[in-house]
A and B are shown apart, each in its own frame.
Chain A
Amino acid sequence: MKSLTDYEKIGRNKRRRQAAGKTVTYVLLSLWAVIVLFPFYWMILCSVKSYSAYNSEYIPKFFTLSPTFQNYVDAFTAVPLAKYFANTIIFTLATTALMLVVIVLAAFAFARLEFKGKNLLFTLFLALMMIPNELVIITNFVTITNWDMRNTFMGLILPSVTSVFYIYLLKENFEQVPEELYKAAKVDGTSDLKYLCKVLLPICKPTVTTITILKVIECWNSYVWPRLITDDENYFLVSNGIQEIRENGFGRENIPAMMAAVVVISVPLIILFLIFHKKIMEGVSRGGTKG
């Protein structure tokens, strides 16, 4: 009898310990979630406070009872935010589209075509993956300047339309498609290009989508190259725009309007993320890098 109660006691203790452990885990995870989400909450909150309300709060309030959208109006009228936005969209779309063409063609050649020096060339490509951007950006800056492409979309786009890593990723995926399909297409007299567009790309659509999304994120957030290559406001992207707003825009440190601009800039990517979060996270864990 005694031993039974002992077992019960041990079991109860164990369950209690486990429950305590679970609670601690949830509390810690929630704490990090708060740290992650709080800046987003704060930017939205500040963006709907009026200028006078914001500046009169010596102790910042955690909520507002009189939200205003005036800051959003200011963000679009006092500074050319719409222009920055349009520039970024053009830049992102053009870069991503061009890159897709370049990498799909290259990946196809590596995956399906036979030619002399293929292995050597592919090794060279892989070696290029290790080159840090900081090392080549100096000459690229001089090159683009010499070509008179500063403050043009061409200058912004050209250096970022190839990615060795994405060529590698796509090539691996292309190779997983059974080669019989390619041979069958050849027997039918289908051209390589047609095979690529009608068979290979549809089959590899998930990878292509992942690459597209990752590139869009990268373009939307790019800062360093656009900063070097543009000093004309008409060609600023959102990152440079926000820096410009911070240093010269709005005057007298209009924080609520600044926050409205920050919200506007962040929203497109957050929406993209909410729709595609599974794909994005999968793509990044397959070999995205940052930080």
Chain B
Amino acid sequence: MEKNNLKAWLYLLPAILFLGVFMVYPLIDVFVYSFEEGYNSASQTFFGIGTYNYSYVLRDPYFLQALKNTFILVIITVPLSTGIALLISLGLSSIQKVREWYQTIFFLPYVTNTLAVGLVFMILFKKTPYSDGLMNLLLGLFGVSPIDFMDGPYWAKMFVLCFYTVWVVMPFKILILTSALASVNEDYYKAAKVDGTSAFRTFGRITLPMISPMLFYLIITGFIGAFKAYSDAVALFGTNLNAAEMNTIVGYIYDMLYGNSGGYPSYASAAAIILFVIVLTITCINLLLSKKYVHY
């Protein structure tokens, strides 16, 4: 038994080492950083302990901009993507022919490089002196005058960001919802059919309750994912997100850490903890709501 003990720890040693150095220690350290005032990364010294970093971050206009952007992004994309994914999954589960083809195509964005495909979206929306871009051409068909989506008004840029975010997160949601729909017991539907229940009522009384755990899982992970949005924005607007007014909270953290405005791990830590608290709060609210509405 003694020998086995030792051996087990030996097997676990690499995992424990890596997790200890790159997860547990940083987790403690980030709190320490966030309370060290005036930390200097070159000399690794600081003046004192306090909450100055938090108040600095919360007063920083760039952070407030990032906060606003992130919240708008979350509020728009989470319901929208979940709703469309539900519609598409319902459509998918009602057909038999070429269903697998559709499923495979819909999953494609999951495996693509966000940065690379973001460039394509940028080109589709961009208005240059040489060309109005494809999107404007399309909008022109409906009589809309060309809009500069990439360098123009705030709402236009936000629209592109939301559009791309939805495009990116859709494959995962469609996949999860399709398999949730497929796992609903056929007998319920047969019983409803015998009773002559309308399709609408069948959906509300059978389908929705049966898939509600998965739906809620998607909403929770969707919120978490959207709050951490960053590379989508970089893909569309470049690394200088502050100049484009399109920064996100995570983007702000990285900007504080590195790059032209970087070198402030304390501010970055404070911002990261603020983000963590926001995400935790939203997740708790979601979980409380799910107790009320979800059938397990």
CB contact between B119 and one of A22, A103, A192, A242 (< 8 Å): that residue: A242
The answer to whether the Cβ of B258 comes within 8 Å of any Cβ in the partner chain is yes
The answer to whether the Cβ of B104 comes within 8 Å of any Cβ in the partner chain is yes
What is the CB-to-nearest-CB distance from B254 to chain A, in angstroms, rounded to a whole number?
7
Interface residues in B128-158 by Cβ distance below 8 A to A read 128, 130-134, 137
Interface residues in B187-225 by Cβ distance below 8 A to A read 221-222, 224-225
A134 in contact with B4 (CB, 8 Å) = no
The answer to whether the Cβ of B289 comes within 8 Å of any Cβ in the partner chain is no
The answer to whether the Cβ of B290 comes within 8 Å of any Cβ in the partner chain is no
Interface residues in A242-291 by Cβ distance below 8 A to B read 242-243, 246-247, 253, 255, 258-259, 261-262, 265-266, 269-270, 272-273, 277, 280-281, 284-285, 288-291
A42 in contact with B108 (CB, 8 Å) = no
Q: Which residues of A contact B137 (CB under 8 A)?
A: 59-60
A40 in contact with B108 (CB, 8 Å) = yes
Q: Which residues of A contact B123 (CB under 8 A)?
A: 42, 46, 255, 259
A290 in contact with B8 (CB, 8 Å) = no
The answer to whether the Cβ of A72 comes within 8 Å of any Cβ in the partner chain is no
A138 in contact with B131 (CB, 8 Å) = no
The answer to whether the Cβ of A108 comes within 8 Å of any Cβ in the partner chain is yes
B103 in contact with A125 (CB, 8 Å) = no
The answer to whether the Cβ of A176 comes within 8 Å of any Cβ in the partner chain is no
Interface residues in B1-19 by Cβ distance below 8 A to A read 1, 4-5, 7-9, 11-12, 14-15, 18-19
B91 in contact with A25 (CB, 8 Å) = yes
Interface residues in B54-89 by Cβ distance below 8 A to A read 81, 84, 87-88
Q: Which residues of A contact B47 (CB under 8 A)?
A: none
Query: In the docked arrangement, what's the CA distance between A28 and B85, Å?
Result: 12
A39 in contact with B106 (CB, 8 Å) = no
The answer to whether the Cβ of B176 comes within 8 Å of any Cβ in the partner chain is yes
What is the CB-to-nearest-CB distance from B104 to chain A, in angstroms, rounded to a whole number?
5
Query: In the docked arrangement, what's the CA distance between A290 and B170, Å?
Result: 10
A239 in contact with B279 (CB, 8 Å) = no
Q: Which residues of B contact A291 (CB under 8 A)?
A: 81, 165, 168-169, 172-173, 221-222, 225-226
Q: Which residues of B contact A113 (CB under 8 A)?
A: 4, 7-8, 11
B119 in contact with A35 (CB, 8 Å) = no
The answer to whether the Cβ of A180 comes within 8 Å of any Cβ in the partner chain is no
B11 in contact with A162 (CB, 8 Å) = no
Chain A contact residues, majority secondary structure = helix
Q: Which residues of B contact A115 (CB under 8 A)?
A: 4-5, 8-9
The answer to whether the Cβ of A211 comes within 8 Å of any Cβ in the partner chain is no
Interface residues on A, range: 35 or more
> What residue in chain A is nearest B180 (Cβ atoms)?
A285
> What residue in chain A is nearest B169 (Cβ atoms)?
A291
CB contact between B111 and one of A110, A261, A280 (< 8 Å): that residue: A280
Q: Which residues of A contact B167 (CB under 8 A)?
A: 35-36, 39
The answer to whether the Cβ of B231 comes within 8 Å of any Cβ in the partner chain is yes
The answer to whether the Cβ of B243 comes within 8 Å of any Cβ in the partner chain is no
The answer to whether the Cβ of B110 comes within 8 Å of any Cβ in the partner chain is yes
B103 in contact with A281 (CB, 8 Å) = yes
Query: In the docked arrangement, what's the CA distance between A143 and B41, Å?
Result: 12
Query: In the docked arrangement, what's the CA distance between A35 and B170, Å?
Result: 11
The answer to whether the Cβ of B181 comes within 8 Å of any Cβ in the partner chain is no
Query: In the docked arrangement, what's the CA distance between A131 and B258, Å?
Result: 22
B117 in contact with A132 (CB, 8 Å) = no
21 residue pairs bridging A and B, Cβ less than 8 Å apart: A22-B94, A29-B95, A58-B130, A60-B134, A113-B7, A113-B8, A140-B26, A141-B265, A142-B41, A143-B21, A159-B22, A162-B19, A223-B114, A227-B258, A228-B254, A239-B116, A255-B123, A270-B108, A277-B104, A281-B103, A290-B172
A-B complex: 9 closest residue pairs judged by Cβ atoms: A291-B169, A139-B26, A136-B26, A115-B8, A106-B15, A109-B11, A113-B8, A139-B29, A162-B18
